[in-house]
């Protein structure tokens, strides 16, 4: 069977790597992929952008793709699943209706409120005068969010009233995030420990994946600007069966049932970004309707079950007949980024040392391409070096041993991935 992975980041390299190890898989195509998926045995890049839905559909038809797995949110929100389904193609992911959970923060918040699922108190604004009034009468810090997709950059944690007003004005009036900021959500600041909780959902049944924790801040000690994620490890610190049960009962099950009740049956990876308070209560920060990046990389390193079988069972509404087996080991993924990220960064720098890394470590590519026979940087997050170990210390030491073999002009990473568990 031929598989198509849509996307070109580290998450998609990891999905393609796992899919290529599955039973009865002949070829794994990645659109558009990166240098890692171009060089790997059993994978082939397809020069179609992840949001060119019609071209992807035609490719899937012509090349007899038996299963498509979508990495990024943009094509999901734009309706790639609807288009593929209309063409009779098998694809794992939510429809555009269900993808609104990520595509619109106000949709998500209103959904959570309507179904009594715990989340921060909030209000939705399109009018600056009303927003100002709310800001003036609510406690600081407060969180200002652009409604639509903003590649992880549309969230401002305002420490002062002035900062909150500025952020709101930039979104509503200066169109800093384009149409994504025509509506803003302003919400209560939550304190606690962040946890990513990712499941596979088939519309009805839920298969929880291993827990993980991302490191969103650029610098060590969780300081500096927010990024797409500088590294992740699995299982997450503080992950207990009791917490998992609490999250499942209070958040995940009511979400899947609520989406069904609203006529937006959810099938796909459901990623709940949660804040766990000191007393152990979980609230939803956001939903993503896809696998996390970089969480996918350490999670899939630990997955012992057949990913393609799980996705096919989900498409057929039979996830209740599946279970996922996990390695007892810990996995850590360290992101190597290009100098300047998350702001403007340089591209085209030659990357050295990838082939010197121990073969038990996976170097998942993200922003890379092949140029004149070299692997060069082509994005902000460039690589995610992912290692397994019998415990967090071993995984940490293997991952950084590999990181230290890789270099290019301006490379940087956080040295403390997994610090909360160490
Ligand atoms: P989001 O894209 O909504 O997950 O927001 C990005 C990041 O901002 C989250 O991972 C949190 O670190 C932080 N954040 C978002 N909403 C809140 C909130 N209500 N309270 C505290 N931190 C938040
Ligand atoms: N790592 C965060 C995300 O994928 O949204």
Q: Residues 197-252: pLDDT tens digits?
A: 999 999 999 999 998 999 999 999 999 988 889 999 999 887 788 999 999 999 99
Q: What residue ranges line ligand 2, CB within 6 angstroms?
A: 214, 228-229, 288, 292-293, 295
- Mean pLDDT value of segment 309-331: 98
Q: How far is CA 405 from CA 138, 362, 370, 385, 408, in A?
A: 50, 13, 19, 11, 10
Question: Hey, whose CA ends up nearest to atom 14 of ligand 1?
Answer: 285
**pLDDT category, 35, cuts 50, 70, 90?**
very high
- Mean pLDDT value of segment 31-38: 98
- Mean pLDDT value of segment 166-181: 88
> What string of H, E and C letters represents the secondary structure of 160-216?
CHHHHHHHHHHHHCCCCCHHHHCCEEEEECCCCEEEEEEEEEECCCEEECCCEEECC
Report how far ligand 1's centroid is from the alpha carbon of 155 (Å): 7
Enter the pTM of the model: 0.95
The pair phi, psi for residue 280, each rounded to 5°, is 90, 15
Predicted pLDDT at 105: 95
Using the predicted structure, report yes or no on whether residue 355 has a pLDDT greater than 80.
Answer: yes
- The rounded percent of the chain whose pLDDT value lies above 70 is 100
**pLDDT category, 194, cuts 50, 70, 90?**
confident
Which one of the ligands is nearest to 269 CA? 2
- Tokens in use for 382? 């460039």
Kindly report, residue by residue over 88-139, the tens digit of the pLDDT. Answer: 999 999 999 999 999 999 999 999 999 999 999 999 999 899 999 999 999 9
The more confidently predicted of residues 152 and 86 is 86
**pLDDT category, 381, cuts 50, 70, 90?**
very high
Nearest to 132 by CA among 178, 103, 173, 190: 173
Using the predicted structure, report yes or no on whether residue 152 has a pLDDT greater than 80.
Answer: no
Report how far ligand 2's centroid is from the alpha carbon of 207 (Å): 19
Complete edge-to-edge strand list for the sheet that includes strand 184-188 = 122-125, 184-188, 142-146, 155-158
Q: Contact 189/142 with Cβ under 8 angstroms?
A: yes
Q: Contact 148/181 with Cβ under 8 angstroms?
A: yes
- The rounded percent of the chain whose pLDDT value lies above 90 is 89
Q: Contact 6/311 with Cβ under 8 angstroms?
A: no
Question: In 35-160, which residue ranges form alpha helices assigned H by DSSP?
Answer: 35-39, 53-62, 73-77, 80-86, 96-103, 105-114, 128-136
Nearest ligand 2 atom, CA 293: 4
- Distance CA(385)–CA(364), nearest Å, equals 6
Ligand 1 proximity of 187 Cβ (cutoff 6 Å):
yes
Nearest ligand 2 atom, CA 232: 1
Q: Contact 12/6 with Cβ under 8 angstroms?
A: yes
CA dihedral 83, 85, 89, 94 (to 10 degrees): 90
Predicted pLDDT at 167: 92
Span of 7-16, 232-241, 411-420 with lowest mean pLDDT: 232-241
- Mean pLDDT value of segment 21-45: 97
Ligand 1 proximity of 194 Cβ (cutoff 6 Å):
yes
Q: Contact 82/96 with Cβ under 8 angstroms?
A: yes
Which one of the ligands is nearest to 195 CA? 1
Mean pLDDT rounded to a whole number for the chain: 95
Using the predicted structure, report yes or no on whether residue 420 has a pLDDT greater than 90.
Answer: no
Nearest to 91 by CA among 315, 320, 308, 316: 315
Kindly report, residue by residue over 333-344, the tens digit of the pLDDT. Answer: 999 999 999 999
Question: Hey, whose CA ends up nearest to atom 5 of ligand 2?
Answer: 292
Q: Contact 5/30 with Cβ under 8 angstroms?
A: yes
Predicted pLDDT at 248: 96
Nearest to 94 by CA among 287, 323, 297, 306: 287
Predicted pLDDT at 422: 85
Q: Contact 417/406 with Cβ under 8 angstroms?
A: no
Predicted pLDDT at 388: 98
**pLDDT category, 178, cuts 50, 70, 90?**
confident
Kindly report, residue by residue over 285-308, the tens digit of the pLDDT. Answer: 999 999 999 999 999 999 999 999
């Amino acid at each position: 069977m031929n598989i198509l992975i849509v996307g070109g980041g580290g998450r998609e390299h990891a999905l393609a790597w796992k899919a290529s190890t599955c039973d009865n898989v002949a070829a794994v195509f990645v659109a558009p992929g990166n240098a890692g998926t171009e060089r790997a045995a059993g994978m082939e890049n397809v020069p179609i952008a992840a949001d060119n839905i019609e071209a992807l559909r035609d490719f899937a038809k012509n090349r007899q793709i038996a299963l498509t797995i979508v990495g990024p949110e943009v094509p999901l929100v734009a309706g790639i699943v609807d288009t593929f389904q209309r063409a009779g193609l098998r694809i794992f992911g939510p429809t555009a209706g269900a993808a609104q959970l990520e595509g619109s923060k106000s949709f998500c918040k209103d959904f959570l409120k309507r179904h009594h699922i715990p989340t921060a108190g909030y209000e939705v604004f399109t009018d600056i005068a009303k927003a100002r009034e709310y800001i003036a009468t609510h406690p600081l810090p407060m969180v200002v969010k652009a409604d639509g997709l903003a590649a992880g950059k549309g969230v401002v944690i305002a420490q002062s009233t002035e900062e909150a007003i500025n952020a709101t004005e930039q979104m509503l009036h200066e169109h800093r995030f384009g149409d994504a900021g025509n509506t803003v959500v302003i919400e209560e600041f939550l304190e606690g420990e962040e946890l990513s909780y990712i499941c596979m959902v088939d519309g009805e049944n839920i298969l929880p994946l291993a827990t993980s924790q991302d490191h969103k801040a650029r610098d060590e000690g969780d300081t500096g600007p927010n990024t797409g994620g500088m590294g992740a490890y699995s299982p997450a610190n503080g992950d207990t069966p009791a917490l998992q049960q609490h999250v499942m009962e209070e958040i995940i099950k009511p979400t899947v049932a609520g989406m069904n009740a609203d006529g937006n049956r959810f099938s796909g990876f459901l990623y709940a970004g949660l804040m766990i308070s000191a007393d152990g209560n979980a609230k939803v920060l956001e939903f993503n309707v896809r696998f996390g990046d970089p969480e996918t990389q350490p999670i899939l390193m630990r997955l012992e079950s057949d990913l393609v079988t799980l996705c096919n069972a989900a498409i057929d509404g039979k996830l209740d007949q599946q279970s996922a087996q996990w390695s007892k080991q810990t996995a850590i993924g360290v992101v190597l980024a290009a100098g300047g990220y998350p702001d403007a960064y340089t591209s085209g720098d030659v990357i050295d040392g990838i082939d010197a890394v121990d073969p038990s470590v996976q170097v998942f590519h993200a922003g890379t391409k092949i140029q004149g026979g070299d692997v060069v940087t082509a994005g902000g997050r460039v690589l995610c070096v992912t290692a397994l170990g019998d415990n967090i210390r071993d995984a940490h030491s293997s991952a950084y041993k590999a990181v230290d073999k890789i270099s290019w002009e301006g490379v940087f990473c956080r040295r403390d991935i997994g610090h909360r568990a160490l």
